[in-house]
Amino acid sequence: MSYLKERVAYLKGLAEGLNISESSSEGKLLKAMLEVMDDMAVSVEELEESFDDISEQVDEMDEDLSYLSKELFDDEDSCDGHVHEVECPYCNEVFELDPCELDEDSDEIECPNCNKKIEINWDCECDCEDCSDEEKN
């Protein structure tokens, strides 16, 4: 029971204890006021419960939004996670290359097998949607 409802119940008990007659005009007014106060206490309690439920839902949505925001817009790792296979033109060794691990200022990598420098051309000629978007920027 909420604090407000307890106080209204106390006032009702006090009115009964004072033997306030409902036959008098003042008694009728006091009883009607106590009933209105009781209704208000019930409404406030329902509003508090609704507020708590909505607050919990907002917290859950905030957590979901934070997660999605981190997943979609996290600039910390601008790489797309794709690993490319590269064949060394000198030793014909095929190895995987993660663009995230490359120096952005250099167009050369070193073959892990023969240690020779390989020039990398990142321009895509496949006309895929991702590459077309990058060319527009």
Apex 125 CA angle, 124 and 128, nearest 5: 80
Contact assessment for residue 99 and residue 78, using Cβ atoms and an 8 Å cutoff: no
Q: What is the pLDDT at residue 97? A: 82
Structural domain spans, the chain: 3-73, 84-136
pTM of the model: 0.46
Hey, how many other C-beta atoms are within 10 angstroms of the C-beta on 97? 16
DSSP collapsed to 3 states, 35-63: HHHHHHHHHHHHHHHHHHHHHHHHHHHHH
pLDDT at 137: 45
pLDDT in tens, the chain (137 residues): 689 999 999 999 999 898 888 889 999 999 999 999 999 999 999 999 999 999 999 999 999 999 998 888 765 555 566 778 889 999 999 988 877 777 777 778 889 999 999 887 766 555 556 555 554 44
Kindly state the tokens that stand for 108: 């050369």
In the chain, helix, strand, coil percent, each to 5?
A: 55, 10, 35
